[in-house]
Amino acid sequence: MTDTKDPAMTSLTRLMFALSVAILPGFAMGHDYKVGDLHVEHPFARATPTTAMTGAGYLTILNSGAEDDTLVAIEADFPRVMMHDSATVDGIATMTHVDAVTIPAGESVSFEPGGMHVMFMGLNGDPLEVGESVPATLVFEKAGRLDVVFNVEEASTDAEGHDAHANH
């Protein structure tokens, strides 16, 4: 029996395999984004109660470049969107507005519960619900604008069972 494979089909099969191998890691990473030397991992927001006026968003930004870059703004369809830093000093929790966040070259900055986070302000009775998404644009000083989506996930609780962001 002779091999009657079409040489063009074999090349096409190889090309499709190569493309699959190249694309699959992107799907495995979930919803990550890239602009210039910056890589944004897993932007998400926490579900909020119906009465909440604000919601919180989180993400990690990695800078694989040789120069620092700065996140100067986050834009989304809310009356106000701000970056905040949380800290607890002597048992008192505080939140401070931050105008910009530097992402040092070769390092990462995480926006996470209990620390830096994005505040979506002015929910006005329209809570963030599990399964929804919040389109937003991150604005970097050097890398420019990057459209991302914050997927809304179940709110986490602290060790005592309280919603970690109920007091926002």
pLDDT per position as a tens digit, 108-124: 999 999 999 999 999 99
Confidence of residue 7 (pLDDT cuts 50, 70, 90): low
> Cβ distance 71 to 101 under 8 Å?
yes
Taking residues 23-50, report their average pLDDT: 81
What residues pair up with 44 in beta bridges, in sequence order? 58, 151
Q: What is the pLDDT of residue 122?
A: 96
Confidence of residue 56 (pLDDT cuts 50, 70, 90): very high
Taking residues 46-66, report their average pLDDT: 97
pLDDT tens digit sequence for 40-50: 999 999 999 99
Ramachandran area for residue 142 (φ above 0: left; ψ -120 to 50: alpha; else beta): alpha
Confidence of residue 31 (pLDDT cuts 50, 70, 90): confident
Q: List all residues 6 or more positions away from 95 whose beta carbon is below 8 Å from its beta carbon.
A: 84, 85, 86, 168
Return the sign of the alpha-carbon dihedral for residues 146, 152, 154, 160: positive
